[in-house]
A and B are shown apart, each in its own frame.
Chain A
């Protein structure tokens, strides 16, 4: 079994509005899968369907190699989760909340609570009622609860919401550690590309209920090429010079006064020398990096612009 989660044409609609449409995703064992999409794209709904909290209106789900039945509860033993804002028994202390969680999960390893609280850097507050917790502390406690039973699969919905930059950094380290030391498979959703980019092994992009693409980070990194951008007041002349005098084929007009040279063998120095010797007026020459952001923006722009996502990616 290499795939922990596999969905086929998974759909959910409420009346006439389709929230999730034909999502077919594959999450492999032991990887961090970044689930990326703007707010309201259907990320949480997909996660809830994986937990049987929301019943699909179409398609099917396979968890741990077995088909998920609508009333099944057994797979839940192997899943840790935090969906949307974590819910607690407010009047009970953090310790009591985690104790209850362990009891309901049927997990009785002593020291597990202490260990989980330490992993999320919550110290000395286990005796406090949860209603006194701040947003960030709740988020940490939610993560602690999700990981304390060392589940095989961890579903985390926007886990870094409400955390400070330091906390975000800590969580990133924690997620990698859970993957590497415990072999846990993680499905992490976020609307922030930068977040997902830094921890994920595979990225699934979802927008308006549809899974647009599922790619490994490695192949994205390979495909996001470097290029040299030339700005000139006479792009036509520049193109002529590049092709005829410098014998470069792999370039294109990037609109306006810019040209992009993708040929890796040529350096900016050589380019500027060649262009100037041929009387091309050069305004600037820069080495550029085709960023991931551009990559995903192009993906989501396919169906018209989407403000939330653009902002999130920016």
Chain B
């Protein structure tokens, strides 16, 4: 299995995705700094009143970004392989088709999970550090807060990684890259939107069950892959 994953990375030229990820980090940091600097200084209606809110915003932004990012990965690794007929080529190899697909999916799943956790850690630390200098948010860091937020991030990252597979079930029907990406944006809008401090993802059961649904639907899309015509 590790061999298959390595081969996927080799042919996908994954360095491109690595740089894309770095760039995304940069953009997110810039965006958050902008919010922090512009909004944070206004004393009348502060955007963050506590660290919990600040870290929550970072988490939401990171998740939204990497769910969409995952749809680009899915397009590259699965949808376009079907469209370019290279999938049929892969199916002429003495490798179980389910294993081939599973290798690709596990790349997307773990990529999304790792990036969400990592980005949260980096940006959370960065903004806590910035705030100790600037002091726009009047709050204290407690170990309890960090533990609670850490657990929150990991749970949501797992859920988001599962959810990130949802667009595949949509995109696979017509082997369309566009519908894959659009459905990922749609998922983000539904799950990560924030309405007066309430969002669907604040009830952990919702993102978690969506994550399970993502894995389940993906499983169903490929359940019969080795019993159907491939070309």
Contact = CB atoms under 8 A, between A and B. Distances in A.
B230 A105 contact: no
Nearest to A146: B92
Interface in B8-22: 10-11, 13
B89 A87 contact: yes
Given A54-B230, A71-B226, A92 B92 contact: no
Contacts of B197: none
Interface string A39-61: 00000000010011111000000
A310 to B, nearest CB: 29
Contacts of B10: 100
Contacts of B94: 73-77, 104-106
Interface in A109-136: none
Contacts of B229: 48, 53-55
Interface string B140-163: 000000000000000000000000
A76 B227 contact: no
A103 interface: yes
Given A87-B85, A100-B7, A105 B93 contact: yes
B203 interface: no
A83 interface: yes
A89 interface: yes
Interface in A59-115: 70-71, 73-77, 79, 81, 83, 87-92, 96, 100, 103-106
B7 A87 contact: no
Contacts of B11: 89, 92, 96, 100
A106 B3 CA distance: 11
Q: How large is the interface on B (under 10, 10 to 19, 20 to 34, 35 or more residues)?
A: 20 to 34
Contact residues of A: prevailing secondary structure: loop
A53 B88 contact: yes
B7 A53 contact: no
B92 A51 contact: yes
A103 B7 contact: yes
A81 B231 CA distance: 14
Interface string B43-70: 0000000000000000000000000000
Interface string A270-289: 00000000000000000000
Interface in B75-134: 84-86, 88-97
A54 B228 CA distance: 7
- Chain A CB within 10 Å, residue with most, of B7, B13, B93, B230: B93
Contact of B231 (A70, A83, A88): A83
B7 A104 contact: yes
Contacts of A48: 229, 231
B90 A53 contact: no
B95 A73 contact: yes
Contacts of A91: 13
Contacts of A83: 231
Contacts of A105: 93-94
Given A54-B230, A55-B229, A89-B11, A76 B84 contact: no
A250 B94 CA distance: 58
A134 to B, nearest CB: 19
Nearest to A55: B229
Nearest to A12: B229
Contacts of A103: 3, 7
- Chain A CB within 10 Å, residue with most, of B13, B85, B91, B229: B229
B126 to A, nearest CB: 36
Contacts of B227: 55, 70-71
A87 B95 contact: no
A250 B86 CA distance: 59
A296 to B, nearest CB: 29
A105 B85 CA distance: 18
A54 B7 contact: no
Contacts of A71: 226-227
A55 B228 contact: yes
Nearest to B12: A89
12 contacts: A51-B92, A53-B88, A53-B229, A53-B230, A54-B230, A73-B93, A73-B97, A74-B94, A76-B94, A89-B11, A90-B84, A91-B13
Interface of B: 3, 7, 10-11, 13, 84-86, 88-97, 226-231
Given A73-B93, A73-B97, A104-B93, 4 more contacts: A48-B231, A55-B229, A71-B226, A104-B95
Interface of A: 48, 51-55, 70-71, 73-77, 79, 81, 83, 87-92, 96, 100, 103-106
3 pairs of A and B residues whose beta carbons are closest in the complex: A77-B94, A104-B93, A76-B94
